[in-house]
C-alpha cells in the first residue's frame, strides 16, 4: 500500500468546483431533457443537484402561472403532463436570472425564438459557460444560412455542441473530447443512449431538414397514398437532406446520415411526429386550413418546426440557384404557402414541369 501523504489528503478534500446546469426552454422536449438531466445531476458528484429550467411564462386556464404550477407539482402540466420532472428541477420565468450561476447551458426552444433569446443573454452568462443545443432548425441571414449552434456560439461567445437523434437513441456531437464526456454524462440514462461524434454541421442539418421531409410524409398520409409512396418520399427526402448538407458544408460526412440523428430520426418523425400529424390534417383539408390554425388547434401551444424550416430552406435554394436540384424541399414549401395543392407532392411534373416525378430521375448527386 502506498504511504499516506497528509498534505495530499488535505488537498484532495478540497472538492473541485461543481457544474451547474440551466435548461433554456420548457416545452415537450425541454421538459424531457430536464427530467433526464435532473436524474443524473442528483447522482453525479461533479454536478450541483439543482437544475434550473427557464419557462416562457404563461397563464393557465386555471388562472395560475405555469412556473408556479411546475414548482408546486413538479410537473409541466401543459407540455409534459403526467410526468414528474424530479424535485431538483426549479422553474424560473426570468431568463437572465435562470442562467446567472450556470456553466452548462442546455438550449431547447423552438428555433424561431432563439435569435431574441440570444440577444437577451448577451453579457448575462458566466465566462466559463459551455452550451449545447437540442434545437432543430436554422436561421437564414443575408450572408447565408446560420445553424442555431452557430448563432449561440457567435452571439454569446461560447462553445456550443449539439445533441440530435431519434427520441430513444440520441447522439451528441462536438469536437472537444473532455467537454463531450461531460455532456454525455449529463444526458445518458439506461433508456437514453448518447454517444459523441464530430460532424456538428451534419448532425444539426439532419435534425433540421428531416422536419421538412416529415411535412411531405404527412401530406402523403393525408392523401391516403399508402406506404410505398411514403417510403419513396422519405427516400428522396433523405437524398435531398444529404445533398443540401454537403453542398452547404463539404465537411459533412455520409455516415452521419446512417446515425440516429439521420435515418432513424427521419423515420421516427415521418411516422409519429407533430410535423407529420399537422401536415396530414392540412392535406385532408385540401390546404384550406392554414398550418398556423392547425398548429394552434392540434398542438395546444407546442410548435411546428417543419413549415418555417421549409421556407428557410427555400430561401437558401432560391438565393443559391439550386431550386431545381431539390424538388421535394421546394414543393413542400410551395404547398405550405398555398401555391401548389397537397397532391403536388407526388405530381411535380404536372404542376411544375421542371421538377422530376417522385421515383423518377433526380437532378441531385
Ligand atoms: N418534442 C420532441 O419530441 C423533440 C425531440 C427532439 C428535438 N426537439 C426540438 O426541441 C426544440 C424545442 O421543442 P419542444 O418540443 O421542447 O417545444 P414545444 O413545441 O413542445 O413547446 C413550445 C415551447 O415554446 C415556448 N414559447 C412559446 N412562445 C415563445 C416565445 N415567444 N419565446 C420563447 N419561447 C416560447 C412555449 O412556452 C413552449 O415551451 C425544437 O427545436 C424541436 O425541434 C423536439
Ligand atoms: O414531433 P416533431 O415532428 O417536431 O419531431 C420531434 C423530434 O424532432 C423527433 O426526434
> CA-CA distance, 261 to 204, in Å (whole number)?
8
Specify the residue with its C-alpha closest to ligand 2, atom 7: 269
Given 20, 78, 210, 277, which residue is catalytic?
210
Query: Measured at the alpha carbon of residue 49, what is the angle toward residues 46 and 53, in degrees to the nearest 5?
Result: 115
pLDDT, one tens digit per residue, over 124-173 is: 999 999 999 999 999 988 778 999 999 999 999 999 999 998 852 233 33
Nearest 10 degrees: CA dihedral of 261, 88, 105, 168?
0
Q: What does DSSP assign to residue 194?
A: -
Residue 350: per-residue pLDDT:
40
Residue 150: per-residue pLDDT:
95
* Gap from CA of 273 to ligand 2 centroid (Å): 5
Ligand nearest to the CA of 265: 2
pTM: 0.91
Residue 356: per-residue pLDDT:
43
Residue 15: per-residue pLDDT:
74
State which of 29, 60, 164 you would mutate to test the pocket of ligand 1, scoring each by most atoms of that ligand within 8 A of its C-beta: 29
Calculate mean pLDDT across residues 33-49. Answer: 96
> CA-CA distance, 80 to 83, in Å (whole number)?
6
Residue 242: per-residue pLDDT:
98
On whether 177 is known to bind a ligand per the annotation, the reply is no
On whether 154 is known to bind a ligand per the annotation, the reply is no
Residue 309: per-residue pLDDT:
97
Residue 13: per-residue pLDDT:
58
Verify whether ligand 2 is closer than 6 Å to residue 260 (CB atom): no
pLDDT at 208 over 50: yes
pLDDT at 340 over 80: yes
Ligand nearest to the CA of 303: 1
Q: Is 210 a catalytic residue?
A: yes
Q: Whose grid coordinates read 431538483? A: 88
Residue 348 banded pLDDT, cuts 50, 70, 90: low
> CA-CA distance, 280 to 286, in Å (whole number)?
10
Three-state helix/strand/coil letters over 80-117: CCCCECCCCEEEECCHHHHHCCCCEEEECCCHHHHHHH
pLDDT-above-70 percentage for the chain = 88
pLDDT at 286 over 90: yes
Rounded to a whole number of angstroms, the distance between the first and last alpha carbons of the chain is: 64
Nearest to 319 by CA among 238, 247, 246: 247
Verify whether ligand 2 is closer than 6 Å to residue 274 (CB atom): yes
Residue 191: per-residue pLDDT:
81
Residue 252 banded pLDDT, cuts 50, 70, 90: very high
Shortest-distance atom of ligand 1 to CA 135:
41
Tell me the C-alpha to C-alpha distance, in Å, between residue 21 and each of 29, 47, 217.
16, 8, 37
Residue 12: per-residue pLDDT:
53
Ligand nearest to the CA of 106: 1
Amino acid at each position: 500500500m502506498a504511504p499516506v501523504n497528509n498534505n495530499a489528503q488535505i488537498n484532495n478534500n478540497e472538492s473541485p468546483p461543481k457544474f451547474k446546469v440551466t435548461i433554456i426552454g420548457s416545452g415537450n422536449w425541454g421538459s424531457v431533457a430536464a427530467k433526464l438531466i435532473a436524474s443524473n445531476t442528483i447522482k453525479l458528484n461533479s454536478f450541483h443537484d439543482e437544475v434550473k429550467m427557464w419557462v416562457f411564462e404563461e397563464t393557465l386556464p386555471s388562472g395560475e402561472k405555469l412556473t408556479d404550477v411546475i414548482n408546486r407539482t413538479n410537473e409541466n402540466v401543459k407540455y409534459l403532463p403526467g410526468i414528474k420532472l424530479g424535485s431538483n428541477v426549479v422553474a424560473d420565468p426570468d431568463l437572465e436570472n435562470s442562467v446567472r450561476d450556470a456553466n452548462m447551458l442546455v438550449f431547447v426552444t423552438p428555433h424561431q425564438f432563439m435569435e431574441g433569446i440570444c440577444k437577451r443573454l448577451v453579457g448575462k452568462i458566466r465566462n466559463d459557460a459551455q452550451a449545447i443545443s437540442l434545437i432543430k432548425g436554422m436561421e437564414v441571414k443575408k450572408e447565408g444560412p446560420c445553424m442555431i449552434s452557430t448563432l449561440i456560439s457567435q452571439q454569446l461567445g461560447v462553445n456550443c455542441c449539439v445533441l440530435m437523434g431519434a427520441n430513444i437513441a440520441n447522439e451528441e456531437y462536438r469536437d472537444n473530447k473532455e467537454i463531450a464526456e461531460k455532456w454525455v454524462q449529463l444526458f445518458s440514462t439506461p433508456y437514453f443512449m448518447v454517444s459523441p461524434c464530430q460532424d456538428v454541421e451534419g448532425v444539426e442539418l439532419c435534425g433540421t431538414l428531416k422536419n421538412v421531409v416529415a411535412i411531405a410524409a404527412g401530406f402523403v398520409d393525408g392523401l391516403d397514398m399508402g406506404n410505398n409512396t411514403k417510403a419513396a418520399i422519405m427516400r428522396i427526402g433523405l437524398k435531398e437532406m444529404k445533398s443540401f448538407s454537403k453542398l452547404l458544408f463539404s465537411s459533412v460526412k455520409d455516415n452521419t446520415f446512417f446515425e440516429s440523428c439521420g435515418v432513424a430520426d427521419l423515420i421516427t418523425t415521418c411516422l409519429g411526429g407533430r410535423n407529420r400529424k399537422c401536415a396530414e390534417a392540412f392535406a385532408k383539408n385540401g390546404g384550406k386550413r392554414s398550418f398556423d390554425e392547425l398548429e394552434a388547434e392540434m398542438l395546444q401551444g407546442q410548435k411546428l418546426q417543419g413549415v418555417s424550416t421549409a421556407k428557410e430552406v427555400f430561401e437558401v435554394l432560391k438565393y443559391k440557384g439550386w431550386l431545381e436540384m431539390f424538388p421535394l424541399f421546394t414543393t413542400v414549401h410551395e404547398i405550405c404557402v398555398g401555391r401548389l395543392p397537397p397532391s403536388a407532392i407526388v405530381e411535380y411534373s404536372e404542376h411544375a414541369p421542371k421538377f422530376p416525378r417522385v421515383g423518377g430521375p433526380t437532378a441531385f448527386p
